[in-house]
A and B are shown apart, each in its own frame.
Chain A
């Protein structure tokens, strides 16, 4: 007896709230708010990364024809890479994952783009500040020279000039067209 009275009260209260919400809102309004949260959530973590990339002075190249999968070690830009691919670690071939800092000091090489047959200068900026990503280890090393030529060696940790020297993953940013 008492119990049914209580459940009835809950039913009435729930119904009133539900009708109130239905009157005061629309499904499109909800979509708008949810969409805003989604886009905001996607943009917010990028902000420090975008700042780091600006600080590193690496302009992203535009208009370069592309082919291949940036999450695969065979992707053309990775010809001289040695490390974890940021594309597999929550970042991309151009940007660090959220929570990491792009090293301004970097290992630079050239790779031939199969899409247009031209060579491009690639900057393998490391992303630093979190422990090793552990995904998509890629070690191709074209143009890599021994350790006694440090500027042309990719076995050393290039997390230099960053807040910490902890290596997380590597990007592969086109910075120029090479001399063919």
Chain B
């Protein structure tokens, strides 16, 4: 197609000359997580100024909002993969409630070891995800409808089963079962406690009257969050399976014609969101020592908000797990920040909704830009 006949003219057409036109900024702008990163910086800057002197940015305060972000981030990671794969899961929140009950009742009421109860919850989650995925694949119905059905089915099951077996909708006393159960300790307590104790002994971090550090370690939920985000990012960017996720969400038909096993990809993604809800439930049950059937209410929507703020398109095929993590971080920052700055917490939801709208508008704008960037 090179119509230029002169070899000299060919030689004067170096690759670099055109590559330079794509500036660093343009490259950064075309990343899906750019908006979320900008938002995080803005929100962070705002609260650093607004909450100065309130202790929000002491180690304890930081861990506070990170923990809020981590809990949401765990389900948002899975939700982001699913949304990039072109589907929704509205049953995440109900799955959290059900998984909590499935862990607590066998352990507390029937004397199962905790690891067995947790395993049961994960098996049920796998089943729920599998059913969700298969229903969406087989019927061709929007996942919105299918999982909306499961939002109610799972919540109802959680309430029904626990009332049937225990006569209550809350089950407590899980804490007594944690010590000595290696599987349960994966979901409870803190890590790097030794490091924090050492830092306290060196006088680098604040200590209480007994000489113990105020912050004794990093909550395990934060570790789960970072690990899952790293895993999801690796999968999306570096593995064939990640490419299949993008393809399935971008155009399922085209993907199938190119030999991508779209159905298997979607089923596995639905299973992963149910899994993430169960991880969330494990962390919560181990932390509070109890399960409650109404846990996880509206979490599915919060996860979607985090994912969308993170730059994913609702229509699928575009997004990032890092973006979802940043979305969750913004969520945690705002929720705790409003608390620290003393603003009436009623305003949190107003902010959240506005943030969502701004993010969607921004994403649409950026997608158009990305398509123009020729």
Decide whether A and B are members of one complex.
no
Chain B residues at the A interface, C-beta cutoff of 8 Å: none
